[in-house]
Amino acid sequence: APILLEWSAAGKPFTVRAAAIGSLGNVDKKNSAITKALAGYLDEPYRLVQFSTILALGRRGDPEAVPALEALIKRSQEVEGGGFTSGQVVSFAQAQVARLKQAAAAAEKK
């Protein structure tokens, strides 16, 4: 995970970052520091980074990601003119929020 975090950081090539971010969705899922690092990438203006991060957060299954995803949804909806890409971001993020909330509710029932 440390190497993936290093390569997911700003300043690395976008395609490499996207691959590292995607991989972080599948490793050390109990590590909330990884979830927090990924959530920080949602603030970046780069759609490739946002999409990779949204999907990685959903795969991690950590409900701590919900507030960051909901904030991204709100920001994307407030963008003047919205646009096709903003709509895609909202759709992907909403799907992951629903997935995370459903998983959290199922875990509470156990």
| Tens digit of each residue's pLDDT (9 = 90 or more) over 50-105 | 999 999 999 999 999 999 999 999 988 777 555 556 788 889 999 999 999 998 89
Task: Flag whether pLDDT at 110 surpasses 80.
Answer: no
Residue 65, token pair as written in the block = 């990601």
The pTM score is 0.88
Predicted local confidence at residue 64, as pLDDT = 94
Predicted local confidence at residue 67, as pLDDT = 97
Residue 99, token pair as written in the block = 């997935």
Name the strand (E) or helix (H) holding 87.
Answer: helix 84-109
Predicted local confidence at residue 26, as pLDDT = 95
C-alpha span between 37 and 28 (Å, rounded) = 13
Residue whose token pair is 């909806």: 77
Average pLDDT over residues 25-32: 94
Look at residues 110, 93, 6, 102 and name the one whose alpha carbon lies nearest to residue 52. Answer: 93
